[in-house]
Amino acid sequence: MTPERKNRLEFVLNNRQNDLTVILENVFDPHNISAVIRTCDAVGIMEIYVLNTINPNHFRYNDYASSSASKWVVINQYSDTKACIDAVRKKYNMIYSTHLNESSKDLFELDLTQSTALVFGNERFGVSEEILSYCDGNFIIPQAGMIRSLNISVACAVSLYEAFRQKNTQNHYKQKKITNEEQSNLLKLWDEERLSNEIV
């Protein structure tokens, strides 16, 4: 590993946020999943959760659309809602879903500096009633147009960059959040990934 590459990887790891994640529920379009992964990497998210209860074998992602971001973000796949939520609850304190009802908050009212998981649902039907029952609250992205919804990858990007803004204001990106052991393990994993690609 060259010194330049090591410095770049260490910079990325120093900015990784282990208190923010995304849950994608029954998202079918692999390009949407790939775009979400790319945004997650951009804001320093370490892992995401892909839940597919309809067709568990459907998930795939497109390296072109994600610009190979899938190499840098851990993808946890689940086919059971409760198992997925249980896993998320072990690491994150709050779970908010993108869903419109009488109690939904404006995205900009959420405190995204705390340990949080954001749920984004199916392109057609949104978040299911089952997963809503596990969430701590719902939020909407304010809009001024006729169409009241955004493409899922766009909605995710808007939400995550609001989290980025809040966390950056609170200097979260100046505080290393992963342990030295985690950093060493990821450096080794990422270098092995590079070597594997070179061999292929």
The helix/strand count (H/E) of the chain reads as: 7, 7
Q: Return the DSSP state at 20.
A: E
Q: Please tell me which residue, 6 or 25, carries the higher pLDDT value.
A: 25
Nearest CA to 39 out of 167, 153, 165 is that of: 153
- The three-point CA angle 159-160-165 to 5° equals 100
- Whether 66 has a pLDDT exceeding 80, the answer reads no
Confidence band of 86 (pLDDT split at 50, 70, 90): very high
Q: What is the residue-wise DSSP string for 116-170?
A: EEEEE-BTTTBS-HHHHTT-SEEEE----SS-----HHHHHHHHHHHHHHHHHHT
CA distance 166 to 38: 20
Task: Enter the DSSP assignment of 104.
Answer: P
Maximum alpha-carbon separation in the chain: 55
pLDDT band, very low/low/confident/very high, at 64 (cuts 50, 70, 90): very low
Q: Average pLDDT of the chain?
A: 87
Higher pLDDT, 109 or 5: 109
Lowest mean pLDDT among 70-74, 81-85, 154-158: 70-74
Q: Look at residue 105 and give its three-state secondary structure.
A: strand
What does the alpha-carbon distance between residue 54 and residue 59 come to, in Å, rounded to a whole number?
Answer: 11
- pTM of the model as a whole: 0.89
Domains and CATH numbers, the chain: 3-186 (3.40.1280.10)
pLDDT tens digits, one per residue of 32-48: 999 999 999 999 999 99
CA 197 – CA 200 distance, rounded (Å): 5
Q: Yes or no: say if 71 and 97 are a contact pair by the CB < 8 Å rule.
A: no
